[in-house]
Amino acid sequence: MGCDRVREWMMQELDGDLGSAQRVELEAHLAGCASCQAEWGRLQELERLLKGAPAVRPSAGFVGRVLARVDRRRQFRQVALGGLALAAGAAAVTFLSIAPAVWTLPSMSGDLLTLWRGESLAVTRLMGAVATLLDSLRLTTGALVLPAAPLLLCGVVLALTMALLWLRLIQRLQPAWATVARR
Amino acid sequence: MDESVWIRQAREGNTAAFGHVVRAYQTPVYNLAYRMLGDRMEAEDAAQETFVRVFQKLDHYDPARPLRSWLLAIAAHHCVDRLRRRRPTVSLNEALAVRGLSASNPEVALVEKEGRERIQRLLMELRPVDRALVTLRYWYDCSYEEIAQAVDMTPSAVKSRLHRARGTLALALSEEPDGV
């Protein structure tokens, strides 16, 4: 019988899984093999050492420290969510303020050109180019925006709602921010 | 009070109820972290972080699974991640760092400290996952199936690695000045 097989039996014996017939064979092999006998001695010593070692306990106050950490993590998440809401609200406010300007600016191109008509040819040409660009923008947005008007309306309503929620969340989170700042 | 009541209340955000869970399992979680990381301060941080993650994941806890097994699995995963983020070699001083000892009898404390350091020296011979296997087997009498669930391995892989780990530890023990 090979020593490798016997070593496997040693492990099974330590696990309490070795059959009685194999245990007899193991003991017979150990009686005649000094190397395996030494190995078995080391494994048994290791078992005694590990099984006899007590569990290491944390220092006093561990529970309090854990609960404090749980509270801090919850506050951090609230602040992080507040930051996201702030960013979303800022984006919504930007959309609300720019959208009308983008929509009306192209229609002002004709008025702008009229204002500058009396000036030099270069300025007139420049304003003509600007007017052409703005008209192109108006045609493009008209092609895209008009078909999507209901969707845009929903977007405006959503942006208004998010802005209002943002304002409300900021008001609620002010005490949490003060606590985090102190830490 | 029943554990399931604590868990249910903790899920609703009741940190006082969660405190009961922490009190009940602080030693198993801390001991596992210490055996895997080899440093008291790091074990304290890892154990705290484990409980924070447990609190955040309470909604995912399956009551059919023993709570201890679930906690130790989270602790083991977290400690393995921490060890992977560490620099490759850990100095013996770091491995043996033990702070915050207190005992009424200094001699008893010294003997306990030496014993603890000896075991920790041996455990640091192993790879991090193998340390988890040995700790779960010897300190918590976990079955191969429980250990397998904790470390995401098959039971046969756990058995095989545990046998190899025993061989490594036994050899390291024999090479110690006062070993067998």
Residues B74-103 pLDDT 10s: 999 999 999 888 755 544 444 444 433 444
**Cα angle value B104/B107/B111 (rounded, 5°):** 115
Cross-chain Cβ contact B26/A56 below 8 Å:
no
Total count of residues recorded for chain A: 183
Cross-chain Cβ contact A63/B180 below 8 Å:
no
Closest in B23, B31, B174 to A56, CB measured: B31
Distance in angstroms (rounded) separating the CA atoms of residues B51 and B64: 20
> What per-residue confidence (pLDDT) applies to B99?
39
Q: How far is B88 from chain A (nearest CA, A)?
A: 25
Which residues in chain B come in under a pLDDT of 50? 90-103, 179-180
Closest in A39, A41, A55 to B27, CB measured: A55
Rg (CA), chain A: 40
Query: Are A51 and B23 spatial neighbours (Cβ–Cβ below 8 Å)?
Result: no
Cross-chain Cβ contact B163/A11 below 8 Å:
yes
> What per-residue confidence (pLDDT) applies to B1?
61
In angstroms, the Cα distances linking A177 to A81, A181, B62 are 12, 6, 35
Q: What is the DSSP letter of A61?
A: T
Closest in A43, A50, A56 to B138, CB measured: A50
pLDDT tens figures, A154-174: 776 776 777 677 767 666 665
| Element housing A79 (H / E) | helix A62-104
Query: ipTM score here?
Result: 0.81
> With helix as H, strand as E and coil as C, how does chain B read?
CCHHHHHHHHHCCCHHHHHHHHHHHHHHHHHHHHHHHCCHHHHHHHHHHHHHHHHHCHHHCCCCCCHHHHHHHHHHHHHHHHHHHCCCCCCHHHHHCCCCCCCCCHHHHHHHHHHHHHHHHHHCCCCHHHHHHHHHHHHHCCCHHHHHHHHCCCHHHHHHHHHHHHHHHHHHHHCCCCCC
Q: How far is B169 from chain A (nearest CA, A)?
A: 7
> What per-residue confidence (pLDDT) applies to B102?
41
The three-class DSSP label of residue A57 is coil
**Cα angle value A71/A77/A81 (rounded, 5°):** 145
Q: How far is B138 from chain A (nearest CA, A)?
A: 6
* Chain A positions in Cβ-Cβ contact with residue B116 (cut-off 8 Å): 53, 56
Distance in angstroms (rounded) separating the CA atoms of residues B49 and B87: 20
Q: How far is A161 from chain B (nearest CA, A)?
A: 28
Closest in A46, A62, A65 to B169, CB measured: A46
Which residues in chain A come in under a pLDDT of 70? 1, 89-90, 92-126, 128-130, 132-134, 136-137, 139-153, 156, 159, 163, 167, 169-183
Closest B-chain CA to A50: B138
